[in-house]
Amino acid sequence: DTGVSQDPRHKITKRGQNVTFRCDPISEHNRLYWYRQTLGQGPEFLTYFQNEAQLEKSRLLSDRFSAERPKGSFSTLEIQRTEQGDSAMYLCASSLRGGAEAFFGQGTRLTVV
């Protein structure tokens, strides 16, 4: 499978715990995006990498969130001290260049109890 891969698909965690999600983009894509989608809404932009550089972070991304993309390959999104409001689908996407279509992974559904 050469599409965008995300792991895990589902995560249930207790409030206050830390969680980490992984995204493996399409191999030749240098742009990688994280989005968050809550029920009944469209995805909202969280952050963007070009190669290994994190070039933009949304105001939605509080200090408890951190994302990395070491060596410009896979990316991780960590949420520290999770809150119930963090419950959502976290989507990763990659694209070959600016303006090109972005391809999405199947997402990680986070439930904070």
Residues that bind other proteins (CB under 8 A): 31, 33, 35, 40-45, 48, 50, 55-56, 89, 91, 93, 95, 98-107, 109
Q: Count the Cβ atoms, other than its own, within 10 Å of residue 59.
A: 6
**Minimum CB separation from other proteins for residue 94, in Å?**
12
What six digits make up the tokens of 58?
A: 């949304």
Q: Which is nearer to other proteins, 70 or 98 (CB)?
A: 98
Identify which of residues 20 and 106 has a Cβ nearer to other proteins in the complex.
106
Q: How far is the CB of 16 from other proteins (least distance, A)?
A: 27
Rounded-to-integer distance, Cα 29 and Cα 22, Å:
16
- At residue 15, the 3 state secondary structure works out as coil
Q: Which residue, 18 or 41, is less far from other proteins as judged by CB?
A: 41
Identity of the amino acid at 15:
R
DSSP state at residue 44:
E
